[in-house]
Amino acid sequence: MEAVLILGPGEVPETAKIQDLLAKMNIVAGISEDVLKTVVSSEKGESYVIARGKPPEKGFATRFESLLEDASIRWPKKIKDKPIDWHKIEKVSSVGPGDVVMRRLPPTKGTDGITVCGEIVPGLFGDDIPFASRLNGVEVSPDDPNILIATIGGKPVVVNHGVNIEDVYTCNGVDYSTGSISFSGSVRVNGNVNPGMYIKAEGDVYISGTVESASIESDGDVIIKGGIIGVKELHGEETDSTDWMSHVKAKGMVMCLYAEHSIIEAYKTINIMNFALSSSLRAVEKITVGKKGAKMGAIIGGEAISSQGIICNASGSNAGIPTKISIMFSEIYTERKNFVQSQLKEAEGKIDRILKMMEMMKNSKILRHKTSDNADKKLEHLINDKELLNTQLASILALESSLLQGKITIYREINPGLHANIGDYSVDIENHSPGKTINLKTEEDGRLNIDLTAPV
């Protein structure tokens, strides 16, 4: 990449002669005019770099660009003429399946070089680095090999040459320091959920402490080792407002130690170990409060509504607190049925679109085999989902014909103030009574009546 001029014995050549010599040797690039001036005034026997080429440069190596929203803090929206609700600050970043999380920028070519003879030396490409081989919860997009997409919901964590998705978010409690949580995965709280905070999760929610005047919403199960507590009095006075009651809603089951001044809804079952006080319990399937034979297990005040069956050890209290226990269809039943039907319709639509796409692939020679394989996997997954949803829907619809077969079992005692009903058939118990099983009995004339028998 260099041309060196060495002066031998004899007279010093003139500039023009040196230039002629360079031209004869095809040295046309990188000639230094300053060195030429120095040569013609120099002593014999010295050597000079009369021309210097330019080496090729190396381009940028592969770069990885995070496409994650900067959601370290999500501030609540300011509503005109209303103060900011600081409980709605969210400090958890979350993605869902199909979200784009990272772009791979291929290596670039560096600047070309040139020899002293004028020949172009191609620039060098930077290091070509693939996505990391061991990543969790992501895959390379079938449509673009330089795009990484999430396959599960969860918390994205940027690592070298990729992103991992953690499907469980864990914290030591939910309060102002953590902010409320909205997460595309499961949430584990090793502590309490404080007043005014909320958790919304697309997976399960596990809480080792208590939930106090807070809101929990889950697309899976909610398991709370402590209690669910709401506030019935504000500033020393009883209020009918539900704003400060705890609200827990799950598309699976709800399990807790006790419930007090709370609203609990479950697409499946509700299981409470100790007691439910002045609370609203609504489940599509069974509601169970307490274990058979245990001292605890009372439903005191409020309501318990199920489409299948309700079991507890005691109802009401000696003070005659009105307590409603019902086998009937509530809003949560209709909501679950509509949800499953909408999911089924969505799955059928996706299956139809994939089948059409696969038909197009059959007639196209330019589509890649990888795309076809990906479509096959998606189709298989959707067909399995559809079968599961059909089973769920059949189970839900079966409740409509079996509602009147549901029963209420109160093992130990019934206190004054109980109103029990199965469908349109009801009974009020105003006096203390030993435990009963309440169901419907067909009379000789074919009519149905409420029947009270000793629990088994």
Tens-digit pLDDT profile for residues 358-397: 777 666 554 445 456 667 778 888 898 899 999 989 988 8
Pairing of the two strands 233-234 and 254-256: unpaired
- For residue 155, give the amino acid letter: K
Q: Is 7:36 a contact under the CB 8 Å cutoff?
A: no
Q: How many whole angstroms separate alpha carbon 276 and alpha carbon 63?
A: 57
Q: What 3-state class would DSSP assign to 350?
A: helix
Position 366 scores a pLDDT of 47
Residues of the chain below pLDDT 70: 1, 5-12, 32, 38-45, 47, 70-91, 232-242, 361-374
Pairing of the two strands 2-6 and 47-52: antiparallel
Position 400 scores a pLDDT of 78
150: phi then psi, degrees, rounded to nearest 5 = -75, 140
Q: How many whole angstroms separate alpha carbon 112 and alpha carbon 117?
A: 15
Q: How many whole angstroms separate alpha carbon 287 and alpha carbon 198?
A: 24
Chain segment 63-116, per-residue pLDDT in tens: 999 998 754 445 455 555 555 555 556 567 788 888 999 999 999 999 999 887
Q: How many whole angstroms separate alpha carbon 146 and alpha carbon 131?
A: 8
Q: Is 116:2 a contact under the CB 8 Å cutoff?
A: yes
The position carrying tokens 């009401």 is 316
Concatenating the DSSP letter of every residue in 226-257 gives: SEEE--SEETTEE----TTSEEEEESS-EEES
Our measurement of the distance from residue 200's CA atom to the centroid of its chain's CA atoms, rounded to an integer in Å, reads 9
Task: Parse the chain into domains and list their residue ranges.
Answer: 2-52, 59-109+124-166, 169-266
Position 438 scores a pLDDT of 95
The position carrying tokens 């002045």 is 278
Residue among 305, 314, 334, 340 at smallest CA distance from 400: 334
Position 207 scores a pLDDT of 98
Position 42 scores a pLDDT of 66
Assigned token pair, 389: 């949803």
Q: What 3-state class would DSSP assign to 403?
A: helix
Position 404 scores a pLDDT of 85
Q: Is 408:420 a contact under the CB 8 Å cutoff?
A: yes
Assigned token pair, 239: 């209020």
